[in-house]
Structures are given as C-alpha cells and as structure tokens.
Copies of this chain bind each other. A is one copy, B any other.
Amino acid sequence: MNKIQESENCKNCNCKSSIFKSLTPEELDQIDKGRYTVHYKAGEILFKQGTPSPHFVCLTNGLAKLYIEGYGKNLILALVKPVDYIFGPGIYVDNRHYYSAAAVEETTACLVDVNIFKLLIRKNPDFAEEFIQRVSRQAIFNFDQVVSLTQKQMPGRIADVLFYLREKIYDKNPFEITISRQDLADLSGMSKESSIRIFKELKEEGILKVNGNTVEILNEKQLRQISQTG
C-alpha cells in the first residue's frame, strides 16, 4: 500500500475516511482531541474479540484483517485498507469487540474516542445517515459473503476471494497478494491445503497467472463463470 501523508490534525488531514466529510471543522476538532496515532508491525494485533472497545480505529496506512475466532479456525470477515475505519457492532451494544483485528502489513492507525463519535452521531444527522449507510453496505457485503461461504464449492469461493482482492483491496490486476495462504483459506472458509490446491488448479487452467505472490487474473470471464456456478 502506498504511504499516505499523515497530518497533525484531523481538520487538514488528507487521510480521513469519507464519512467525516459531513463534519464541520469544529466537529473535526472534537474528534481530533480524543485521537492518537499508533503503528503496528505485520502480525500485531490491534484488538482482540471479547475485549472492551473504547475507541474506533481508522486505518491510515497498511492493511489489516478483521477476523472472528471461531471453533478452532478463524473466519476473516474483511480486509481493511486506507482510508477506512473499523467500527464494530459492539460499540452500540455492550462496548465489546465481536471480532479481532490484526495488521497484515506494516500498519498505521488513528484511534478515536468512541464517545465523541457517538456524540457526533446524535448531533449531526448527516453524519448519522452517512454512518448508517456504511453499516448497511457492510451488512450487504456480509450477506454476499455468507451466501458464498455456505452455498458455493471451493472453486467458487476462491474466485470470489480473488475478485474481492482485486477490486476492493489491491485495486489493480496483476496484484501482489500480501496475505498468507492461511488467510486466503480463512477468507474462503476452507483448509489451507484446499485453498492452495484450488489456486493451483486455476493456474493450471490458465485462468490465473501466478508468479510468486503476484497474481494476474487472465481469464476474467471464466473466473466469473466459476464464481457463478459455485
């Protein structure tokens, strides 16, 4: 991920998430007061499922994974890249995290006091609406994911993950995969070995070109087909 210029203040920060666009300069000042910046090395945990959630996280550099620690394995709900924020549902329920977050690459994040955020939600209807919109989009994404995971076979699920990585995360083709094969498996709800095997098959069929961690989707049509047929 490209390095984004950080700022000393939320007002003139060019890495602020788009939901903040409806906030006035004064409101951004409020946010800024309860904010601090933290750096994480790859692999480090931002927060753990089950722990209290006193702030929400805005990613300004790097890449993080959000994952549920289930029964033996993990399920990756989403990857988060700059500039996006991580705002779990627990904040409006019992102030706990319902999933864990870990840095996949070297990562920088702003932590913002959750109470200030909640206050602004009450005060600024545009901001509230923007927020509800984000939460809604997230829910729709989760629907797609759960259908993919429960109704498609492995090749379809891997296809979906590949499209996700290309369109939502790395934003180009070819792209360099910076997550591990285990992460790939946790994203597609299968064993690490299976994800590797499907990956290989797609490569052998000429649908993917794989060079180390650099992946290119050569035959988009066919991959789309695989995604559809499950």
Which chain A residues have a beta carbon within 8 Å of chain B's beta carbons? 68, 70-73, 75, 77, 89-93, 98-99, 118, 121-123, 125, 128-129, 131-133, 135-140, 142-143, 145-147, 149-152, 189, 228-230
Contacts and interface: CB of A to CB of B under 8 A. Distances in A.
Contacts of A139: 89, 98, 135, 138-139, 142
Nearest to A77: B143
A92 B123 CA distance: 19
Contacts of A90: 136, 140
A129 B92 contact: yes
B140 A129 contact: no
A146 B151 contact: no
B129 A132 contact: no
Q: How many copies does the complex hold?
A: 2
A92 B122 contact: no
Given A75-B151, A142-B142, A89 B122 contact: no
A203 B43 CA distance: 46
A223 to B, nearest CB: 16
B146 A142 contact: yes
A125 to B, nearest CB: 4
Contact of A93 (B71, B73, B133, B230): B133
A122 B129 contact: yes
A70 B73 CA distance: 25
Closest 6 CB pairs of A and B: A89-B136, A89-B139, A122-B125, A92-B136, A70-B151, A70-B147
Given A121-B128, A122-B129, A73 B151 contact: yes
B152 A89 contact: no
Contacts of A128: 121-122, 125, 128, 132
Contacts of A137: 89, 93
A92 B129 CA distance: 8
A53 to B, nearest CB: 12
12 contacts: A68-B146, A71-B152, A90-B140, A92-B133, A92-B136, A93-B136, A98-B143, A122-B128, A123-B125, A125-B125, A146-B146, A149-B149
A89 B140 contact: yes
